[in-house]
Homo-oligomer: A and B are copies of this chain.
Amino acid sequence: MGAQTSPALPVPTRRQRLREQTQNEIKAAARAQLVSNGPGGVQLRAVARDVGLTAPALYRYFPSLEELVEALTVDLFDELCDVMEGAAAPAADPFARMLELSRAFRRWAMQHPHEFGLLFASPPTALGQQPTNACQQASDRFGNLFASAFIAIWDAAPFPVPADDEVEPAMTAGLMPYRTWLVANVAPDMPLGAVVRFLEGWVRIFGCVAMDAFGHLSWAMPDGEPMFEQVMSSLAEMVGRPDAYVPPKASV
């Protein structure tokens, strides 16, 4: 009845706190399994064992194994986004921010290949079923990180891009919905050609990171970082700022 109990939301009851804590323990155990067994190797009974419960008890916290993995996915997207945001100062030069965002992305992917696999290689596994709202939201946050970084680069210093009528008609058509959304919501003055450049860059960054994380580069080189850095350097040229690329600080 004290005065400070009036806002209902910020005062979770004791049980709620314990419940949330247990949920986190469960997700942590699930992640440990993900790390050692890969996506698909997360087992409900094993998670329960690790956390000191019987299997049916987990159903008090997650309605199914699948939803547990989904919750873990959301957490991992958030972790990845947090790491990326923590690595790139928003106030920095826009391209420097993009550079640091991308490097943090690559670093996280290399350090957590199985988590990366869960986030980015599952679609073929789960093809045909649309993702959960929460999942979609989490991956949107990730996408927006890159998009807003690109928009900042463009707003700070537009660079030459193909004119609207130089873009392939097929691409123009396919890109229209996204482009109108962009213009209406976040980047009023971005031409179609810039959107194309954004996607090109995103494909190169993601492709480089994903191939490395999935081991599709190791036949030619043991470490994909130099290739990644070169991609970033060539992207600096693409956005008309060849000087903006700076090599990474030497790692320890």
Interface residue? A204 (CB, 8 A): yes
Chain B residues, CB < 8 A from A120: 214, 216
Chain B residues, CB < 8 A from A215: 123, 127
Name the interface residues of A183-236: CB closer than 8 Å to any CB of B: 195-196, 199-200, 203-204, 206-208, 210-211, 213-217, 219-223, 225-227, 229-231
Q: Is the interface of A mostly helix, strand, loop or mixed?
A: helix
Interface residue? A94 (CB, 8 A): no
Closest to A208 in B: B203
Chain B residues, CB < 8 A from A221: 171, 174-175, 178, 199
Chain A positions 111 through 145: 1 when the CB is less than 8 Å from some CB of chain B, otherwise 0: 00110110011011111000000000000000100
Interface residue? A165 (CB, 8 A): no
Taken together as a complex, chains A and B put the C-alpha atoms of A194 and B167 apart, in Å, by 29
Question: How many copies make up the complex?
Answer: 2
Chain A: how many interface residues by the 8 Å CB criterion? 48
Closest to A234 in B: B200
Q: A203 touches which one: B123, B199, B207, B229 (CB < 8 A)?
A: B207
Contact between A204 and B206 (Cβ–Cβ < 8 Å)? no
Contact between A38 and B207 (Cβ–Cβ < 8 Å)? no
Chain B residues, CB < 8 A from A204: 203-204, 207
Contact between A178 and B124 (Cβ–Cβ < 8 Å)? no
For the complex with contacts A113-B127, A123-B214, A203-B207, 18 further pairs of A-B residues with Cβ separation under 8 Å are A38-B125, A38-B126, A38-B127, A117-B127, A121-B121, A121-B124, A168-B230, A170-B223, A171-B221, A174-B221, A174-B226, A175-B220, A200-B227, A204-B204, A204-B207, A206-B211, A207-B210, A210-B210
Q: 11 A-B contacts, Cβ less than 8 Å apart?
A: A38-B127, A40-B125, A116-B124, A117-B125, A121-B124, A124-B214, A168-B226, A174-B221, A196-B227, A203-B207, A203-B217
